[in-house]
Amino acid sequence: MKTVIITGISKGIGRALATKFIGEGYDIIGTTRDGKYDIDKTGITILGLELSDPQSISRCANLVKSLDKKIDILVNNAGGNADDEETVLNIDKLRQTLEVNLIGTADFTEQIIPAMNEKSHIVFISSQAGSLQEMDHISDSHSPYHYPAYKISKCALNMYARTLAARFDKDKQDLTVSAVHPGWVRTDMGGDEAPTLPEEAAENIYNFAISRPVSGKFWFNGREFPW
């Protein structure tokens, strides 16, 4: 049985992803901020993970390693958006957002890499909002200068994905690294006007995560997406 880690499964895309992977027979290690999960836990191990807390990150990574399971897929789904209709950068919110979306995610990933199988896949749930080329074509009602801290964090996450993929290639490690835009999804963050249901996004991400695409690329619905 293959094993997948999915961070942030308490709601939205993460919850739908956990349900999809369970249905496909995967062994799931899922994280929530408080280590709790309010649906059937059959086939799933729940661990607490607060990405803004280095001690929580290390504790969660050590618990993963203690399970003595080789990881086939890591989906870095957990993230946040501290912006509240900002059009001018709020430095405190930028620090808060980077701590979760970039630094905490990178820290957790680096600590999980030793537990991963060869030919495994690391997937970062990014966003069109992090694409420099797509900045003038964001898929919601906001203009390019809305929620700047979130945009900066996802752009930086994309660069981490690129550098990680390059590192594996240099070291001849056969791990695939991908950044994925999930679409404009109807979640707490995406809002009720979003056209894509979490289950639809999860289906697309699942099909992509189990594949072996070219490493170090940005993707949307199985097609390469501009950085």
Q: Which superfamily, per CATH, for 3-224?
A: NAD(P)-binding Rossmann-like Domain (3.40.50.720)
- 8 Å CB contact between 29 and 64: yes
pLDDT tens across the length of the chain (227 residues): 899 999 999 999 999 999 999 999 999 999 999 988 887 667 899 999 999 999 999 999 999 999 999 999 999 999 999 988 888 999 999 999 999 999 999 999 999 999 999 999 999 999 999 999 987 665 444 566 788 999 999 999 999 999 999 999 999 899 999 999 998 777 766 666 767 788 999 999 999 999 999 999 999 999 999 99
Residues 6+ apart with CB under 8 A from 1: 25, 26, 27
Amino acid identity at 7 = T
Give the domain ranges of the chain: 3-224
